[in-house]
Amino acid sequence: MDVVSKLVDVTMDFEARIFGRKRRIRAVDRVSLEVRRGEIYGLVGESGGGKSTIGRISIRLYKPTKGRVFYGKLDITELPESKLRYLRREMQLIPQDPYGAINPIQTIGEALVEPLLIHYKLSKDEAVEQAHRALEEVGLHTSTEFFTRRPRELSGGQLQRAVIAKAMILKPKYIVTDEQTSNLDASIRTSIIKLLLDLCEKYEQSLLFITHDIALLILITNRIGVLYLAQLFEEGPTEKVVKNPLHPYTKALLSAIPLLSDELGLEKVYLKGEIGDPSNPPRGCGLHPRCPYAMDKCKIEEPPLIMVNEGRSVKCWLYYKP
């Protein structure tokens, strides 16, 4: 299977000051995953689980503390910015905050023309023409009206369309989209997601789709990875994971969608309390303080990542067979 992006045993530590004291936050803990050519891989989990950090590492906006990052077969872990620059047109991020995606003092037209001039030897007129076409393609008709506006002069939905146009303008092969639509009304959100998926299909792009909304991932992804406190707890083909979730955390995420879990006859699992502190994660299994199945062993020993059939893996002692 052709792989577009691969993380191998990746760890990312940040230093943060908490109440004046320096603390290490392990945002990503030995995560391996791959996004295959033409697929939509969904990464789901609660806030602070490490989703955005993984997305940024996979396009080498962050360099991991440990582990390797591949783009196709190319190991890009240590590539300097000068060499990464030409790869940037093939790997794009649609970030969590749309106002961070387009410089607030730039017009939408300037934001679209700039990458074309940097990455391709185009004349200014050619770049402007392509930028207009890109705006039309994301439904910003008439493009001339939007070309001269700044991000704050657009509605939420229009801005998201402009952000997609900016990500698409270099025709990337791999896109990371990070909770792009979480702050939009449901109907606008649906149309923006449909637009993104249609464009990805048209240009045969691969997508790492990051969200806390597992219901959305069920509808649009080929495979999913379930992340909790920096670790990948479960991974597999979406349909198989949804119909037969293995990890108690995945079961809890699906239990939060009563209609679906009733229809599929899924066991309901409810977790206690809140997600743990990434600067001081629990010993053993990270979920043990909240898990209704926790055993003594879970409080002391970290479970291994267990490969089960059908290309699935799960990190839980319940599935360990010595």
Ligand X SMILES: Nc1ncnc2c1ncn2[C@@H]1O[C@H](COP(=O)(O)OP(=O)(O)OP(=O)(O)O)[C@@H](O)[C@H]1O
Q: Which is nearer to ligand SF4, 172 or 303 (CB)?
A: 303
Return the residues of window 264-293 that contact Mg ion according to CB under 5 A.
Answer: none
Do you find a cis peptide bond into 142, omega within 30 degrees of 0? yes
Q: Which is nearer to Mg ion, 148 or 182 (CB)?
A: 182
Check binding of 293 to ligand SF4 (CB under 6 A): yes
Check binding of 291 to ligand SF4 (CB under 6 A): yes
Given the rule CB under 6 A, which of 28-36, 164-172, 192-200, 292-300 is the region that contacts ligand SF4? 292-300
Task: Yes or no: say if 174 and 159 are a contact pair by the CB < 8 Å rule.
Answer: no
Strands (E), the chain: 3-18, 21-36, 40-44, 66-71, 74-75, 91-94, 174-178, 206-211, 223-228, 231-237, 306-308, 312-314
Check binding of 58 to Mg ion (CB under 5 A): no
Task: Yes or no: say if 231 and 316 are a contact pair by the CB < 8 Å rule.
Answer: no
Q: Which residue from 164, 114, 170, 108 is spatially nearest to 139, judged by alpha carbons?
A: 164
Q: Which is nearer to ligand SF4, 208 or 246 (CB)?
A: 246
C-alpha torsion sign, points 242, 248, 250, 252 = positive
Q: Which does 131 bind (CB under 5 to 8 A by kind): Mg ion, ligand SF4, ligand X, none?
A: none
Q: How many CB atoms lie within 10 A of CB 23?
A: 14
Q: Which residue from 278, 281, 234, 277 is spatially nearest to 253, judged by alpha carbons?
A: 234
Report the interface residues with ligand X, using CB under 6 A: 14, 16, 25, 27, 45, 47-53, 96, 212, 278
The interface mask with Mg ion, positions 13-52, x = CB under 5 A, is --------------------------------------xx
Task: Yes or no: say if 314 and 233 are a contact pair by the CB < 8 Å rule.
Answer: yes
Given the rule CB under 6 A, which of 76-84, 87-95, 205-213, 312-320 is the region that contacts ligand SF4? 312-320
- Cβ of residue 295: shortest distance to ligand SF4, in angstroms? 6
- Cβ of residue 277: shortest distance to ligand X, in angstroms? 8
Check binding of 287 to ligand SF4 (CB under 6 A): yes
The interface mask with ligand SF4, positions 231-250, x = CB under 6 A, is -----------------x--
Distance CA 271, CA 290 (A): 5
Q: Which residues bind Mg ion (CB under 5 A)?
A: 51-52
